[in-house]
Amino acid sequence: MKIDPITVTELNKYMKEKIAGDEFLNNVLVKGEISNFKLHYTGHMYFTLKDETSLIKCIMFKGQTTTLKFTPKDGMKVLVFGTVSVFERDGVYQIYAKAMQEEGMGALYTAYKELKAKLEKEGLFDESHKQKLPMMPKVIGVLTSKTGSVIRDIINVSTRRNPNVYIRLYPVPVQGQGAGEKIADAIKIMNDNNLADVLILARGGGSLEDLWPFNEEVVARAIYASKIPIISAVGHETDFSISDFVADLRAPTPSAAAELAVADVFEINQKILNYKNRLKVSLKRKTELMRLRYEKCMKSRAFTMPKARLNDEYVRIDKCVKTMINAININLNNSKVYAGKTIAKLDTLSPLKTLTRGYCLTEKEGKIIKAGKDLHSGDEIELIFADAKKQAQIL
């Protein structure tokens, strides 16, 4: 029996029509866990629906996504209602989802949330524990797969920013069973042997399962214990792993991690040149200002007529001295006049002045006699005149 050949297109078209004719496949309700979810810029959603042993691709067009009451994410368990059909170009069958309902979170996502809450409570995410990156590291340690675009991107970006930087790759598995323990061991070895100034923990994007080693507790604690600053660059910009929260710095991509770790020497050189030019301008301005001040000083009388300044000071001092002498003489004359008036008053009140007019004082035993009753017959007395003293006896 002769069989006529057909094209691939014809075969895929036949399979599509065959499936389309099956009423069971036109309206199916399938439950499973979302993986590899992508929201296209057109608004269409592409994802994989899986269970423990199998998976199937799904697409939900923008027109149907508007009815969703939740935002699909990797790890979610959902119920998908739609039609199974063949995508002729690729020859694959997939579910064209018409509606989707959240059933619950997958086991991995639940474990992720629980571990994140536990480590956060213990303080592994605290900002106070995070280390600053060195400004000019000499050695950049990279923990990632030895093959693939990740290490090439890091090398290209790092050497472009600083041709003298040294990249030390420590190959580790970035997915699969046992990857977490090997990543943790690599971090410890890099620290124990002081093999780098900064560590970049990196891998490309992937599903929650692919990124799971970076969500394991052993890796989180190794990062926390590291004395070398660590940059976590795991997955795409929208992916967040436990390692991102524990690390000293998170980068959205491996290339961005290289930019954070390695200073751009050309930019630094340009800054130094700018500072140098600004310093030259400042020095020039300062010199010009000092020159103007010097010229102003040289034109002042202190420099042009130094003796004139001294003469002015002599005149001022001489004037002050004369003013002081005049004030002293006036005060002295006033004091003399006052003293003369005071002496005249005292002279007027003096008992000696009275004696000059013919009076005398009578003393008995050194005491002045003020009344006749104080004298008795036979008393020895002393008469005091203005010019002499005489002895006498009362009869």
Residues 101 and 114 in one domain: no
Residues 205 and 232 in one domain: yes
Write down the pLDDT at residue 106.
67
Percentage of residues of the chain with pLDDT beyond 90: 45
| Per-residue buried b or exposed e for 152-182, using 16+ beta carbons within 10 Å of the residue's own CB | ebbbebbeebbeebebebbebbbbeeebbbb
Please indicate, yes or no, if residue 291 is contained in any of the structural domains.
no
Residues 173 and 207 in one domain: yes
Residues 223 and 311 in one domain: no
Residues 149 and 244 in one domain: yes
The percent of the chain in helix, strand and coil, each rounded to the nearest 5, is 45, 25, 30
Residues 161 and 259 in one domain: yes
Strand partners, 382: 363, 391
Quote the number of domains for the chain: 4
Contact 95, 58 (CB under 8 A): yes
Residues 96 and 193 in one domain: no
Write down the pLDDT at residue 322.
87
Write down the pLDDT at residue 354.
67
Binned at pLDDT 50, 70 and 90, residue 304 comes out as low
Q: State the average pLDDT over residues 50-76.
A: 89
Please indicate, yes or no, if residue 281 is contained in any of the structural domains.
no
What is residue 202's three-state secondary structure?
strand
The CATH code of the domain that includes 89 is 2.40.50.140
Contact 229, 134 (CB under 8 A): yes
Please indicate, yes or no, if residue 213 is contained in any of the structural domains.
yes
Cα angle at 276 between 272 and 282, to 5 degrees? 140
DSSP 218: H
Domain boundary (209, 238, 263) is at 263
Please indicate, yes or no, if residue 98 is contained in any of the structural domains.
yes
Q: Where are the beta strands (DSSP E) in 223-333?
A: 230-234, 249-250
Please indicate, yes or no, if residue 294 is contained in any of the structural domains.
no
Which has the higher per-residue pLDDT, 114 or 301?
Answer: 114
Residues 369 and 318 in one domain: no
Residues 115 and 228 in one domain: yes
Asked which of 7-11, 111-115, 180-184, 313-317 is least confident by mean pLDDT, the reply is: 313-317
Which has the higher per-residue pLDDT, 45 or 205?
Answer: 45
The rounded mean pLDDT for the chain is 87
Q: Give residue 121's domain range.
A: 110-126+136-263
DSSP 131: P
- Residue 260, pLDDT > 90, answer yes
Q: State the average pLDDT over residues 168-195.
A: 94
Binned at pLDDT 50, 70 and 90, residue 296 comes out as confident
Please indicate, yes or no, if residue 78 is contained in any of the structural domains.
yes
Write down the pLDDT at residue 302.
61
Write down the pLDDT at residue 213.
92
Name which of 112, 166, 104, 173 is nearest 143 in CA terms.
Answer: 173
Residues 253 and 358 in one domain: no
Write down the pLDDT at residue 301.
62
- Residue 129, pLDDT > 70, answer yes
Q: State the average pLDDT over residues 45-65.
A: 92
Domain boundary (347, 364, 383) is at 347
Q: Which residue has the tokens 């020159």?
A: 291
Residues 359 and 387 in one domain: yes
Burial of 377 (0-12, 13-18, 19+ CB in 10 A): exposed
Binned at pLDDT 50, 70 and 90, residue 305 comes out as low
Asked which of 165-174, 220-229, 305-314, 326-335 is least confident by mean pLDDT, the reply is: 305-314
The CATH code of the domain that includes 231 is 3.40.50.261
Residues 66 and 35 in one domain: yes
Residue 42 to residue 337: CA distance in whole angstroms: 118
Binned at pLDDT 50, 70 and 90, residue 306 comes out as low
